[in-house]
Every structure is written in C-alpha cells, then in structure tokens.
Structure 1
Amino acid sequence: MKRYYFLLMLLVINFSLKAQDLKGFWIGTLKLMGEEPPEVAFEITANAQGQLQSRIHILNQKVFDVATEHLVATGGRLEMDIPAMSTRFEGSLVNDSTISGFFLMNDKRKFTLNLGKRASLPVAKLKRPQEPVPPLPYQEEDILFPNTAAGVTLAGTLSLPAGKGPFPAVVLISGSGANDRNETIFTHKVFLVLADYLTRAGIAVLRADDRGVGKSTGDYESATNEDLAADALAGVQYLHTRKEILSRGIGLIGHSLGGDIAPIAALSPEVAYAVLMAGTASDMETAVKEAVAVMGERSGATPAAIKINARLIHDVFSIIKSEPNDSVAKIRIAAALLPLDKEIAQLSARDREIMELTQPLHVEEFLQFLSGPRRADLLRNQAGVLKRVKCPVLAINGSKDVQVLPKELKRIEKALKAGGNQQVTIKAFEGKNHLFQNAKTGLLSEYPDIEETIAPDVLAYVAAWIKNKVQ
C-alpha cells in the first residue's frame, strides 16, 4: 500500500510541474439534480507575461466568455473565482487530460465538475460583430468612484472620445439582476456596444459593475432602486470632477430596470437629461402581469393558463402589499395557493411549462418578493416618480418587446407631461425586441441567436438626440 501511495505522490509532483499544460480547452458537465446539466468549458490561455488566464463558456446554454478572477495554478491545483455565476472553481490535475474538481457556490453548496481536455470547443462561439476590436479610436480608463453615503465603491470604465473636450457624457444604468459593466445578456455585451458607438460619436460614457459585481463593493440583492439610483448619481458626481467632461451635459441612459431607476436619479439637478430604454410607468404588478401574458400568448399558452397565472400574480402580490409581517404573509400566501393549485392541476403539461407553473405550487417560490427591495418595488409609484422629472427625457421601446411592453411609452409620456415636463421625446422602434435588436417574435429565446446586439438605427437615434440636447 505504501508503495502505491509513493507512486501516487510522484504522479502528483510530476503534474504540479506542468502548469502551462493547463492551456487549452477543458470541458465537463456540472452535476446538478433535477435540472438540465450545464456543459461547462474552461478556455485557459496565457498573457504576454506567461500568466494563465481563463474564460468560461456554458455550451448548451449558448453563453460564452464569462469572466473569471484570481486564477491560481500551482502544485497541481487549479482555482479561480467566477463572480457572474456567484461561484468558485477548485480542481486538481489528475493527469495531462483530466481535472477533478467542483463548483463551490457563495451559499456553500458544492457541485462536482470533472473536466477533460479537448483540442477545441465542440461548438462555434456566437458571432457578435458589433463588439469593438482594438485598436480603438478613443481612450478607455478603468476607474473607481465612491457612493460615500452608502459606503460603496463602484468600479467602471470611462470612455473618452478622441479630440479636444470638454465632451457631453452619460452614465449607463443596467437592467435587473447583478450586471457587469457591459450588461452582458445572453452573450451580448449591450453596454459595451452602446458605449463604443456613443464614444465614437463624441459622447463620453461611464459604465460600471453593479454593487457586488467585479471590483464593485456592496451587496446587490439588498439594494433598492433608490440605492441603485444613488450609485448612478455617484457616477454623475464623479464625471463632474473630470476636466474632459462638459458639466452641463451629463445625463443618464437606463435600460430595462435601469429605465425605472434613471428617473429616480434624474430628480437631481446634476442630471442634464435621461434616456429610458424600455422603462415603465406602471406599478410592478401591472407590468409583470401584462408582460407574462404576452410572453405566454406568443409561446402558445392557452387563455385559461394565462388567466390563472394572472390571478396567481395578483393574489400573491396583494398579500405582500397588504401584510408587512413576513411570517403572516407566508401563511397567507400558502393558503391562497391551495385553490389555485387545483386549477393549475387541470392545465396541460405544456401550459404549465410555458407559464412556468409548478404543480403543486410551493410557497418558497414567492418568498423572494418578501425582501425589502422587492416590497419596495411593489409599493413604488413609478408614474409619480416620472411626474417629478423636469429634465429632457427620451423614452424608447421596441414594438416586439415582450419584457416591457411598448404600451409603456404612452404611460411614460402621460406621466411626464402631467408633471409639466414639455421636453419629452417618445419613440417606438418597429420590429425591435427588449434588447433593441431586429427580431422575429421578440421572445427571449431569440436573443442569443441574433448576431446584432443593438440595431444601428437605435444607436444613431440615441446619439443624435443626446447631441441635440447638449448643444
């Protein structure tokens, strides 16, 4: 036995001396219970200094180039953090073609992931032709700026146009979920493409990682829209300190949820204008019910399934809005689910799949809405916020958007003008989806397969509107 142990130790020492052998593609299937197992690929390369670096691809989900941090390869060990996935990979080199490892989630759950070396990726990366390729005709600078009141430091990238300033500038505000500075969605780097276009057009752009993402500190999940608006304002205040920036020409662009956050930040006199890309003027319950109904209809759900789902949303949200005690709310939600569960059981499996209705229903599915930020979302008067915005506003949406319906444009216009704002521009883009891509159905399933990240006519319109407002 000791002899075999000694041989094993020699084997480990041998492979610990070949860290550079890690370069290449390492592919494995994550062991998950009850879910479609993600097929994960690590693409490990070396920079000019010979230091190893890695990107991750989720092959069967068409997700590519997920950033990693703090890669360590020593003593036959491979370790790295994956902030976008809230996880860390730890593995050991078994031989020159096998790594035994696991994902360790932030919540301490552990999932096995064994990797085998491959000569190439088994699927082609999706094309993203609008992403800028160096050398760039403008300057980019990685910066840090504080939200002092919140004790948060935001990490971002400032893009400065070529030529002599001062330049008008925008702070970008991302949509729901903890986003990186590029607002990476289904492998589309939405804010990277937007920033590239605007900077080439002579507009400086500041885009930042959300709280708790990348090098930004803080916790995203505990942040309200008001907290995130304060982060955006901290970016505006930072830009006011830069001599390259035109102080009277600093505005905001918010996409999706960012289109709801931007009006909160735009209440500050430091904000010169705001662009709302797929923002809302509705209360959260209305916006969610309407969007889910359209998505269900376009995906083939029956009217009965759509109707039951709308009742489910209404009943759960009504309880949360009226019951401040979490424990009591949980009991009341569980009671409300019982009669709905019987009706859902009568739906076809296809209806339940489309509308994402589990059977039986579980109260745990809805507890996320009891958090402070989600309670605030349910109670917020978004139209009331818009009525207080006095700076120029451009609100745009796509006619095929199923996440934020285009009918929100008229609601936004009504709210702004009701508050006396006469500097309002409303624009609907025919055939565009929630990402402002040219789309066929507008459904989320199309996003990764469309090569275009943002339609050129949308980019041109936004840039022209901003330049017109800061002349």
Structure 2
Amino acid sequence: MNEQSKLYQKLVIASLATSLTLTIASASAYAEVSTGSKSQATAPSVNVLELVPVRTVAEALGAFIEWDEKTGAAKVTKGSTVLILKIGEKNATLNGKTIDVGQIVQIVNGNMYVPLGFINQTFASHIGWNNTQNKMIIAADDYAALASSFLKELNQNNMDDAVTYFGSGLKQKLPPELLKKIWLGPQYFGHLKQQISAQVDRNAVHTNVTLKYATEKVPGPVEIIIRFDKNGLIDDFYIPPILPSVTFNKPSYDNPANYEEKEVVIGDGEFALPGTLTMPIGEGSFPVVVLVQGAGPNDRDATLGAAKPFQDLAVGLANEKIAVLRYEKVTREHNLKVALNPKFTIKNETVDDAIRAVEFLKGVKGINPEKIFVAGHSQGGYTIPMIINEDKNHDIAGTIILAGPSEKFSDAIVNQSEELLKRLKSLGKPTDAAEQSMVMWSSIAKYVNDSEYSIYNLPKEFPIPQQAYWFFEQRNYTPAEVAKKQKGSMLILQGENDWQVPMAQFENWKKSLQNRQDVTYKTYPKVTHLLTEYDGVSTGADYYQPSNVPLVIINDIANWIKNVRK
C-alpha cells in the first residue's frame, strides 16, 4: 500500500469515528440538498464508507465530468484536480498518480458509485449523504459547496431547486419563473463547465464565495460571486464583468505603521453595506473623508483595471492624520436585489448611503464630528449637490468633487462619447466600438430630453429598458445649477487627461459657480479619470497599467481640509 493510500485509510477511520459521535442536534448543522427522489426526512448520514453517485455529488461540488463509453472511464475535473475512475477497478488516477479508491468502482442503475470519504478527500469537501432520501448533505458552514451546488441547479435549469438556497427575502422577490428569466448565463457565456477555483471570504454583511468557471462561449474564466446571509442562505449573487487580469501595486506612500483599518457596517437592514474605516494611528479627534464611488457596481476601493484610487486616498490621507471611510457600493453588494427594483434611483444608488455614512461617523470614537467631509468621484461627484441637500442636520463640513460631471447626466455621457471618439481618431485607433457607443448614448439622451416621455410614460424602445426609470427620474437635475444656490466649502479637482469627464465639465463648474467665494479649483495635466497619471493620451486602455493617485492630489486634499472652518 502506498503512502497516499495509507493516509486515505487513516482519514476514513478518523472520519468514521467522528461520524459515530454525531447527535441529532449536530445534524441540524447540515443543509440537505435534493439530488434525486424525495422521501420522508430522516437523520442524515455522514458515513464516509457510504457509496454515493459520482456525477450527482461531483457536479454539485463544481466538477466537470466527461464519460468515455469505450473504456468505461469517467474523467472528473475541478480546478487543477483531475480524477479518472474506471468501472470495476479499485484504483483511480489522481493528477497522474495511482491512488486507492477504497472500494471497487461500481455501476448501479447507470450511475457510477464510489465511497463518500474518497470524494471528500479528493475534492477537500465536507459533504454527507442521506441514503434513505437520496440527498446530498452539505455542512451549513461549507459555503463553497453550497455555492457550487446552487450553481449546478442554475446550470441545469432546475430553478425550483435553486430557489431553496435563498433566504426568505430573496425567495419572495425571485420566484423560480423569474429566476429563469433573469439567469442569462447560457446566453452570455454558455453552460458552466469545470470549476477552476472557489474562494470564501467574509465582510461585515455577507459571507462571499467567489467561483471561477470555464464555460462554453468565453475563452477566459467567468467569475460568479454568491453572497450568503448570517443564516447561511443566499442573499444575493453577482457576475462581475470579464476584464483582463492585472496586478495592483501599492503606492510608495502606503505606510501601514501610520494607520489601522476596521471593518464597519453602513446602514442596517436589507441593504446594509460593509466598509473600511482607515484611522490614523494615535490619539486625537481626526477629520474624516467619506468616499463616494462613481457609476457601476464598484467595490470600496473603486477598483478599475490596475488602479484602486480609493485605497490610495485612504492610506495617503492617513499619513496626514485624516481618516477615510469607504464602502462597497449597494449596486455591488446587493446587485441582484437592486436589479429587481424597477424604480431604483440615483438617490437610492449613491446619495442615501453617503448620508448614512456621515451619520455613522458622528458616533465613532476618535472622529471629529465637526470635520466630516464627503468626496465624490465621477458619478459620486455629480451627486454632491444632491448629498448637500440631503444633509438636513448640516453635518458635512465640506465637499470634494473628483472628476464629477457638471451637466445633466444624459448630456454628460454624450460629451464623454464625443471625447473618446476624438481621442481614438487622433491616435489612429479603431473607432467602431466607440461609434456604436456614441449612437446608443445619443439615442438615450434624445429620449430623456423628449418632453413626451416621463417616469409615468417611459419609452418602450429605450436602449437600456431596465434603466429607463433611473434616467428619467433625474432628467431635470443639473449639478452645477443646483450648486449655484448652495453654500459651504467645496473643492473641485479635475484631471486634464480625463476622457470620461472631459475638461468641458470642469469649465462649466467654474462658470456656473463663479459668484461663489467658497469653492476652490485645481487641475492636473497628466491625470486621468482614475485620478492617476498617464503620459500618453488616455482612452481607457491605460487603466490596465499599474498606477496610483499621485501625492500632489493627496496633499492638495489634505491641505484644503486642514484649512476649512465650518
């Protein structure tokens, strides 16, 4: 017997001994997953010597199975693990090496069976099996297995079984028939094939499982994030866009000795958000900046490509004894639930959470409640006048607009498209995609500016139907015009190499607010929309080169904050 077989035998014996001590109470720590005919529930079995159907169990764990009729062999692949099983043999091949299965591989009613303990050892899982009910049992804290099993049901179009993984709130909003309509995996990337990896992490709101799969239609891996609530049930799931894999480099000014970071929760209830509070080291009553993200389902670091501008700002300002609060955007942490709200607004998306963040900070030890600032980037900057209007208690000491549009949103996106097209042409780059985008955004602007339509009469032909209400609800909002009537210290920063919010938007801020004496303006020649520097002409491709927020921006923000008097 080889060393691996001896180890396997020891694991089986140890696991069997443990299984004999299980009580009915401990069985409640497992979730039963239907994988066959249903019968009356009994105490679940976790006998590692139990023979279990390979396809049923392996697919639920995210493995991909290929059957060779000629040789009677099954190839089971999950990530870097490749297992080959043959009918009638007691040995198998695992990653090119021969191992002992423990029992002869059997075929029963057309299904291949092997011992449960062998499956658990091979795939590092912790599942059990209820032989009476023909059900797989997954430990309540085995989130990777639960997420994989849920995606197996989606992949096989078993929506009735898929919704059994949902918490009560999501189950009510997303019944099987609606889940079938919104699950567009087969349309966009085809069926899920083998699982490449599964990573579990926790924040202050969810336990998150990030699964990567090879698929039919997409050459690279597709990532799917499943979010579990405190009860171990699915609260949301999210498919990030498929983007090039790049590496973020920490800035030279990131000195961990100067700060500590705490996981916090912004708001409460169904849409609570996890966040990070970066506090300078030392005693004191520190000023603090709330960072508000731009458009899209952004994370707390405002990650895009190889840049994390919000993380850079947090560690950079900590050196200046200024705290920073950043948080996951609601459209990322609660992506699915947000998408199910047909009347979701920009206030819901951005403004409400910024106000909740300010309210939270008022009660944090070490924070000066008289020195709470709000900095909005891109769409976050666009909403700064909205945030000021919602600050009913006048808790905000000052605001910062970082590359924020000053015009109506529909007009600003047309301006953005025009600028990108101009830059691509000047560089001799292909413009097909940019021209198509220009047509779409121009069409959106035309609809939004047409008085025939409103939130009560949305155009049926709107290019992005699911976002029609969002666009029309804010169509009369012009940030610079609202800011004209406001007062309070404001800093407006703009990169001159920004195509997403071109300099025309900045000039409009200056023109509109020319009669205000409490606004400071600064521009930076090489700075792009990500608040990082680029020597060439920025078109978005540069976002995938490692870059950081330059110290000059951090110093300008810090000096301005230190000079503000509320």
* TM-score, with length taken from structure 1: 0.67
Change (3 A) 1:326 1:177: same
The one-character-per-residue Cα deviations of 1:168-215 (angstroms, maximum 9, x if unpaired) are 011110001122222222253221221111122211111112225438
What RMSD, in angstroms, separates the aligned Cα atoms of the two structures?
Answer: 4.5
Query: Is it true that 1:137 corresponds to 2:137 in the alignment?
Result: no
Which residue among 282, 303, 328 is the counterpart of 2:407?
282
Contact 1:211 1:218 in 2 (8 A): no
Contact 1:295–1:443 under 8 Å retained in 2: yes
Separation in 2 of the partners of 1:133 and 1:201?
12
Q: Aligned partner of 2:543: which letter?
A: Y
**2:489 is the alignment partner of 1:392:** yes
User: For the residues of structure 2 that align with 1:464 and 1:159, how far apart are their CA atoms?
Assistant: 18
- From 100, 105, 113, give the equivalent of 1:9: 113
Q: Does residue 318 in structure 1 map to residue 446 in structure 2?
A: yes
Shift of 1:286: 2.4
- Structure 2 counterpart SS, 1:143: strand
Alignment of 1:58-457 (within 5 A): 83-85=237-239, 125-130=246-251, 136-146=257-267, 152-211=271-330, 213-214=332-333, 219=338, 222-227=343-348, 228-267=350-389, 268=391, 269-300=394-425, 313-314=441-442, 316-321=444-449, 322-324=451-453, 329-330=458-459, 333=461, 365-371=463-469, 373-418=470-515, 421-439=516-534, 440-448=536-544, 450-457=545-552
Name the SS of the counterpart of 2:258 in structure 1: coil
If asked which structure has higher relative contact order (CA below 8 Å, sep 6+), I would say 1
The 1:313–1:447 alpha-carbon spacing in structure 2 relative to 1, beyond 3 Å, is closer
| Equivalent-residue separation in structure 2 for 1:46 and 1:330 (angstroms) | 42
Please tell me the residue identity of whatever aligns with 2:521. Answer: I
Change (3 A) 1:254 1:389: same
Q: Structure 2 regions of 5+ residues with no counterpart?
A: 1-86, 88-104, 127-143, 145-183
In the other structure, the counterpart of 1:113 is none
Closer/same/farther in 2, CA of residues 182 and 11 from structure 1, 3 Å limit: same
Aligned residue for 1:407, secondary structure, equals: helix
Q: Partners in 2 of 1:406 and 1:36 — Cα distance? A: 42
CA distance 1:400–1:445, shift in 2 (3 Å): same
User: Which region of structure 1 is more displaced relative to structure 2, 318-327 or 270-279?
Assistant: 318-327
Aligned residues: 383
How far residue 243 of structure 1 moved from its aligned partner, in angstroms, is 3.2
Q: CA deviation at 1:161?
A: 0.8
Question: Deviations along 1:438-458, whole A, 9 cap, x unmatched?
Answer: 12221112101x211322322
Q: Which amino acid aligns with 1:259?
A: G
Structure 2: which amino acid aligns with 1:138? Y
Task: Indicate if the aligned counterparts of 1:393 and 1:423 stay in contact, CA closer than 8 A.
Answer: yes
> 3-state SS of the aligned residue for 1:4?
strand
Q: Contact between 1:368 and 1:374, CA under 8 Å: does it hold in 2?
A: no
Question: How big is the shift at 1:302?
Answer: 9.6
CA distance in 2, matches of 1:377, 1:367: 16
AA paired with 2:465? L
Change (3 A) 1:385 1:63: farther
- Cα distance in 2 for partners of 1:240, 1:57 equals 40
Taking a change above 3 Å as real, the CA distance of residues 81 and 443 of structure 1, as seen in their structure-2 partners, is: farther
Compute the displacement of 1:410 (Å): 1.9
Pairwise CA distance, 1:233: 1.3
| CA drift at 1:153 | 2.8
**Highest Rg: 1 or 2?**
2
Assess, with a 3 A threshold, how the Cα gap between structure 1 residues 280 and 61 changes in structure 2: closer, same or farther: farther
Q: 1:164 to 1:66 in 2, by over 3 A?
A: farther
**Relative to structure 2, which stretch is displaced further, 139-148 or 31-40?**
31-40
Whether the 8 Å CA contact 1:297–1:306 is kept in 2: the answer is: no
User: 1:142 Cα deviation (Å)?
Assistant: 1.4
Deviations 1:48-87 (A, max 9, x none): xxxx99766799999999976559xxxxxxx999855279
Q: Distance in 2 between matches of 1:69 and 1:4?
A: 37
Task: Tell me which residue corresponds to 2:555.
Answer: 460
Matched to 2:119, the amino acid is: F
Distance 2:503 2:383 in 1: 18
1:256-304 deviation per Cα after TM superposition (whole angstroms, max 9, x unaligned): 1000122221233211111110112112232111110111122238999
Letter in structure 2 aligned against 1:262: I
Q: Which runs of 5+ in 1 are unaligned?
A: 24-29, 72-78, 88-122, 334-362
Change (3 A) 1:240 1:368: same
Deviation at 1:137, TM superposition (A): 3.0
Q: What is the alpha-carbon distance in structure 1 between the residues aligned to residue 275 and residue 327 of structure 2? A: 4
The question of whether the paired residues in 1 share the 8 Å contact of 2:309 and 2:531 is answered with no
Letter in 1 for 2:447: I
Q: What is the identity, as a one-letter code, of the residue corresponding to 1:367? A: P
CA apart distance, 1:165 = 1.1
Percent of counterpart pairs with the same letter? 21
* Mapped partners of 1:63, 1:133: distance in 2: 32
SS at match of 2:447: helix
